[in-house]
Structure 1
Amino acid sequence: MTVGILMLVHTALNRAEQTARHWTAAGCPVVIHVDLNVTTKAFRSFQERLSDDPLIQFSKRHKCEWGRWGLVAATQSAAELMLASSEDISHVYLTSGSCMPLRPVNDLVDYLAASPRTDFIESATTADVPWTVGGLDEERFTMRFPFSWKRHRRLFDMWVGIQRRLHLKRRIPSGLVPHMGSQWWCLTRQTLSAILQDPERRRYDSYFKQVWIPDESYFQTLARLYSGNVESRSLTLSKFDFQGKPHIFYDDHLQLLRRSDCFVARKIWPHAHRLYEVFLDGRDAEGKRTEPNPGKIDRIFAKAVERRTRGRPGLYMHSRFPNEDWENGVTCSPYSVFEGFSELFEDFETWFSKATGARVHGHLFAPDRAELAGGQSMINGCLSDSAKKRDYNPKAYLTSLIWNTRGERQVFQYGPADNQKVSWLLAKDPNAQISVISGAWAVPLFKTNRNFADLRAEAAELQRVESKHLQVLRSVHAKARIRIWTMAEFIEAPMEPLQTILDEIGVVRDRRLAEAPKMVDLEGFGQFLQNLKNQGMHPYLMGDFPVDPAPVNKARPPRKPYLVR
């Protein structure tokens, strides 16, 4: 007894010829179906090249198209010819021209001989199938699909929509329970002949001609009627990506294919010369008495799918630029944003860099230039301080900066005078630590000697921008670690919030912070705010700031002694 091989060939006829001769060299008869879409000249040449091999036959040709009945008709014709011409076969194995045996053919023959009554065909009900892609599970069996999904996609979708709206459904033939699974099966002679010689075959064929992707359901469903022992798995290694497209195996997948212990793999790239040399030229002729186990490499494919769909956290590139909110992490590592601190404290960047060891930038999104740490004009990743280049894509500028400096904490200043296009990015980024002293933007205005009418107009605009920014930070969609203080409440006790910020960054200190950075002189600032009010501009973001604030960090008066009797 031996195994009959059915080959559905569409392209790469030279590789199909090589594979067919490999099967017959081991004594397996082969029936080849060549897609009717292949030109007559190419088919005749292919047929002549194989005419010297008595174990190779060609079946009636059908036009094959993905998702259409032609693939099932081609399989039926090839199977009928195989059963009629080869009486000594125990199983029939369906393959394609792009399939390749991974183990010696005798291994497969011995394996099937040990299971003479077992049908190896992936067959599961629609409720148990997690891999369908396209939104049509049960509907593929209850609707009609007269239009090609690939050639007439618009008509296909329109007709599906009409059937849904009008609740048009067709009846599944009595006795059939629709099953689905891989197209690549290995059936016993008894089961396959029962399917092809069924008295109800014409009725079943008529029904499945209107099913979507019938090659994944026809034999999978009918095998359940006649098989006494279905092993619901395929002996062919066939992996699919998240879009339902088959993975293609190349030369660098050699060790991966060896580890699978599967008998056959699909789909092999026609130009994978190394794979064809190793598996078809006898270099892997040593047999294995191991069970096919594609699960051993499932983890690698799952990781590949995750990398393909999600990418690496915080990495954006031209080959994979995700849709908004589809990214796997907005940025790749934690960073800190300070709003109002450099305005309130003198030389804040230098102090914070010494206190934390982080790289502290000025206002990265300032109107004139990106104020990179140390006055640099360029930073890791060739990121320039040019405002024009930065503002071409501010989001990409920030994510690139964090990616290219990963391993080092990045800190930068931000405010209402800066480019606000990254406001939502900062708010929705879980890696961002945002500390805000609202209203501190008024301090530089207070220090300037400008026309008060101009100061009033600029203050009103800055307050409007910051107010809108604070609404974003307080949104229910914000995921960053956000702390907001009004300027009035912050200057009452600046040590506590600074210590909290340092602790959150993870700075290890022998003792708690004893001295805050030097605060700018705010004498007269309260009166400045009052003047803005008098001119009709109400500076409410500073909080309840007194006209004459008490000196910062002034020692509290000693408590009066009291006696308890």
Structure 2
Amino acid sequence: MTVGICIMAHHHLYRVEELARHFASGGCRVVVHVDVQTPSRDFDALKTALSDTGTIFAARQRCEWGTFALHNTAMETSRLLIDTFEDVDHVCLISGSCLPIQSLDKLKSYLAANPDTDFAESRLIGVDEWVHEGLSEERFTLYFPFGWRSNRWLFDRAVDIQRLLRVNRTVPAHLQIAVGSQWWTLSRGTLRRILDDPKKRETDAYFRKCWIVDESYVQTMVRTHSRTLVNRSLCLTEFDPQGKPFTFYDDHAHLLQRDEEHFFARKIWHGATGLYNKYLRGVEPMAAARRPRGGSLKVLVNEGRENRCLGRPGLLMQSRFPVQAFERQHRTARPYLVLDGFDFVYQGITQWQKSLGLPLAHDRLFAKDAVKFADDASVMPGGIVANPRIRDWNTEQFLTNLVWNARDRQQSFQFHVSDSTRMASFLLKDPNANILFIKGAWAVGMTPNPGETSAQFRRRTMRLKLLEKKHIEEIEGAETRANVQSWTLGEVMADPALPLNALAAMIEGGKLTDVEALPTMRHEHGLGELALNMPVEGMQISNQQAAHTNVSQFKRPESA
């Protein structure tokens, strides 16, 4: 078993020298590409230092992040490797800031045990969630003639103009777009088939104007040419909420040591001498010996993300001192109720609220194509009409006027984040909003529409899931001023009285006598299929259990 290593480097070449020498001394074939913008004196020094190792250097190209050039250079570097070394069985693409975290003997044994097997993360766009921040599907439907780092203003303006013009590029019929980590390990046969694909010219022409091609080209093509695909990378990478790589330092040595699924790790700080000594020379760093051994890498990264985005209550210091900007959002005239997801779960929920004494129980005020006032009214006090075009001119002011003109009466309305993400944000920042939220309620009755393919159904389901995920993150954010109570769908189906009790307790002047007619739960037609294909937060009970659930457990509040 002979392993080929392609190293993509652009700075800190003294570390690249150590890395290439380690692989070469272990019997690997090594090809290095150094960005053309790296000073020539540094490149020449690297070539001289590695002249005794058999390392080959690829023709230098400019590799701006996100552009097709970066991907194309990596592919041509890998082509040079397999054209030069006929004994190479697998090719690993890594960066100059990677480190091998297991021995080369283990890597060779693992790949020898998996011949003709490719290790590449490949997540279907629109179906699997992978992109952290920024452009997702638009990477492939818009044109990107400018680099983000070199021409950021032009990049942003080009995106804005294309959105305004509703540009929507057509994906070639032979491609099923996928995304994933750019650090892959491919068998020689698969790599050769990708490089010599008969439709390569057409494929390259399409991807040339896409964005962040190195995270999509191979990830897409490997689905066509791989005989055995393992959908994961052999390179350990973690990202922050902005998509920037997590950096490993000397005191992370014990975390890397516990990882048995990966053979490389990125991104290693160039000053982490302890890690370089440990994994390239076998010398245990002192910092690792002093580091507490508790916790895992996943826990550490998740805590770091939370601390960075949300902070810790009561902690103010130089590195985190939030600036309170001027508040631009006004508050409404009086408290009101927002029932988020209730109409997915309960039938006749608006009529039931009226029976409890709620004066104005609206239906969906912000549905895409309708405004559904209480009692099917077409005009509300203040001359507010049930016209979605007028409402959408300024949705925030629409709600503000509605509350103001009926401020002597309590109001409620049905809502879901899919109605309007803009209003979802507004409601969370309004201290007068009392939001009762059933997480995952959209899944009830979620079945394919007539003529809808399974892929289209999964895409529609994923869209709702991602919308709600972002909505939950916003609820947990520091800017939320609304009063939010939430339950998972599983909790509600196990005990439907939970949100009903909370709702009844919040109705001002509600009746104290028991109500004879209670809302019934809707049938969850496709919930079982959906739960198998697209897990919903809080769904831990079976359809049979849910089908026999009723609301007889409802209890009237002792006082109102």
| Short-chain TM bin | 0.5 to 0.7
Larger radius of gyration: 1
CA shift at 1:283, angstroms?
3.8
CA shift at 1:151, angstroms?
2.0
Pairing of 1:179-190 with structure 2 (within 5 A): 179-190=178-189
User: What is the identity, as a one-letter code, of the residue corresponding to 1:18?
Assistant: E
Q: Name the residue aligned to 1:300.
A: 300
2:117–2:187 CA contact under 8 A, matched in 1: yes
User: What is the identity, as a one-letter code, of the residue corresponding to 1:204?
Assistant: T
Taking a change above 3 Å as real, the CA distance of residues 220 and 478 of structure 1, as seen in their structure-2 partners, is closer
Residues 1:18 and 2:32 are matched in the alignment: no
Q: Name the residue aligned to 1:89.
A: 88
User: What is the identity, as a one-letter code, of the residue corresponding to 1:51?
Assistant: S
CA shift at 1:175, angstroms?
0.9
Pairing of 1:464-543 with structure 2 (within 5 A): none
Q: Name the residue aligned to 2:320.
A: 320
CA shift at 1:296, angstroms?
5.3
Taking a change above 3 Å as real, the CA distance of residues 70 and 158 of structure 1, as seen in their structure-2 partners, is same
Q: Name the residue aligned to 1:7.
A: 7
Residues 1:233 and 2:237 are matched in the alignment: no
Partner Cα distance (2:117, 2:323) in 1:
47
Pairing of 1:265-344 with structure 2 (within 5 A): 265-283=265-283, 297-322=297-322, 324=324
Taking a change above 3 Å as real, the CA distance of residues 478 and 239 of structure 1, as seen in their structure-2 partners, is closer
Q: Which moved more, 1:131-140 or 1:10-19?
A: 131-140
Partner Cα distance (1:270, 1:184) in 2:
19
Secondary structure at 2:126 match in 1: helix
Q: Name the residue aligned to 1:151.
A: 150
1:260–1:296 CA contact under 8 A, matched in 2: no
Secondary structure at 2:89 match in 1: strand
Identical positions, percent: 45
1:129–1:180 CA contact under 8 A, matched in 2: no
Taking a change above 3 Å as real, the CA distance of residues 26 and 164 of structure 1, as seen in their structure-2 partners, is same
Taking a change above 3 Å as real, the CA distance of residues 478 and 196 of structure 1, as seen in their structure-2 partners, is closer
CA shift at 1:65, angstroms?
1.1
Residues 1:79 and 2:78 are matched in the alignment: yes
2:255–2:296 CA contact under 8 A, matched in 1: no
Partner Cα distance (1:216, 1:139) in 2:
14
Partner Cα distance (2:3, 2:482) in 1:
62
CA shift at 1:479, angstroms?
6.0
Partner Cα distance (1:77, 1:300) in 2:
37
**Structure 1 residue ranges without an equivalent (≥5):** 285-294, 326-424, 429-475, 481-565
CA shift at 1:170, angstroms?
1.9
Q: Name the residue aligned to 1:103.
A: 102
Secondary structure at 1:137 match in 2: coil
Q: Name the residue aligned to 1:221.
A: 220
2:4–2:28 CA contact under 8 A, matched in 1: yes
Pairing of 1:114-513 with structure 2 (within 5 A): 114-261=113-260, 262-283=262-283, 297-322=297-322, 324=324
CA shift at 1:478, angstroms?
7.3
**Structure 2 residue ranges without an equivalent (≥5):** 285-294, 326-428, 433-479, 485-560
Partner Cα distance (1:97, 1:184) in 2:
12
1:60–1:77 CA contact under 8 A, matched in 2: no
Partner Cα distance (1:63, 1:324) in 2:
42
Residues 1:36 and 2:48 are matched in the alignment: no
2:123–2:130 CA contact under 8 A, matched in 1: no
Partner Cα distance (1:479, 1:19) in 2:
54
Partner Cα distance (1:63, 1:88) in 2:
30
Secondary structure at 1:127 match in 2: coil
Partner Cα distance (1:76, 1:477) in 2:
50
User: What is the identity, as a one-letter code, of the residue corresponding to 1:160?
Assistant: V
Taking a change above 3 Å as real, the CA distance of residues 225 and 305 of structure 1, as seen in their structure-2 partners, is same
Partner Cα distance (1:171, 1:212) in 2:
15
User: What is the identity, as a one-letter code, of the residue corresponding to 2:60?
Assistant: R
2:33–2:60 CA contact under 8 A, matched in 1: yes
CA shift at 1:321, angstroms?
2.7
User: What is the identity, as a one-letter code, of the residue corresponding to 2:321?
Assistant: F
2:25–2:53 CA contact under 8 A, matched in 1: no
1:186–1:234 CA contact under 8 A, matched in 2: yes
Normalized against structure 2, the TM-score is what?
0.55
User: What is the identity, as a one-letter code, of the residue corresponding to 1:304?
Assistant: G
Partner Cα distance (1:308, 1:176) in 2:
38
Deviations 1:342-368 (A, max 9, x none): xxxxxxxxxxxxxxxxxxxxxxxxxxx
Q: Name the residue aligned to 1:518.
A: none
Deviations 1:530-564 (A, max 9, x none): xxxxxxxxxxxxxxxxxxxxxxxxxxxxxxxxxxx
1:102–1:264 CA contact under 8 A, matched in 2: yes
Secondary structure at 2:74 match in 1: helix
2:117–2:229 CA contact under 8 A, matched in 1: yes
Partner Cα distance (2:77, 2:304) in 1:
36
Taking a change above 3 Å as real, the CA distance of residues 279 and 167 of structure 1, as seen in their structure-2 partners, is same
Deviations 1:413-463 (A, max 9, x none): xxxxxxxxxxxx9x99xxxxxxxxxxxxxxxxxxxxxxxxxxxxxxxxxxx
2:130–2:179 CA contact under 8 A, matched in 1: no
Q: Name the residue aligned to 1:67.
A: 66
Deviations 1:31-80 (A, max 9, x none): 001111112222112111111112x1011111011111121121112111
User: What is the identity, as a one-letter code, of the residue corresponding to 1:62?
Assistant: Q
Taking a change above 3 Å as real, the CA distance of residues 256 and 71 of structure 1, as seen in their structure-2 partners, is same
Partner Cα distance (2:303, 2:167) in 1:
41
Deviations 1:469-517 (A, max 9, x none): xxxxxxx95769xxxxxxxxxxxxxxxxxxxxxxxxxxxxxxxxxxxxx
